[in-house]
Amino acid sequence: MMFHGKITTRDHLLKWGMCVDSHCAFCPGIESQNHLFFQSGYSGQIWRLLLQKFNAYRVYFIWEEMNARLFWESYVSLDVVYHRIVACA
């Protein structure tokens, strides 16, 4: 993980015994570092906008596939990812 546990998120506060709402500020998900930066739909939209801004939006589909495999245990074939990328060309 890019921050190596250095970002204090609500899941950490709960583990430390603090009485806080566990929900993400952006969606109904449980706030953790992974959620905040990769799983939340809000962060997904931010990543998408940033990648478009820097003309690297095609990378988004690879990033999206990585997240699907890591967090949702689902995947599509290489051909599907490739066709998604080509469709944006």
Instruction: Point out which residues bind Zn ion (CB under 5 A).
Output: 24, 26-27, 29, 40
Which residue number, 10 or 65, has a Cβ lying nearer to Zn ion? Answer: 10
Q: How far is the CB of 30 from Zn ion (least distance, A)?
A: 8
Tokens encoding 44: 């997904």
Q: How far is the CB of 4 from Zn ion (least distance, A)?
A: 21
Enumerate residues 6+ apart whose C-beta is below 8 A from 36.
7, 9, 24, 43
Which residue number, 7 or 80, has a Cβ lying nearer to Zn ion? Answer: 7
Q: Measure the CA dihedral 33/34/39/40, to 10°.
A: 0
Q: How far is the CB of 46 from Zn ion (least distance, A)?
A: 11
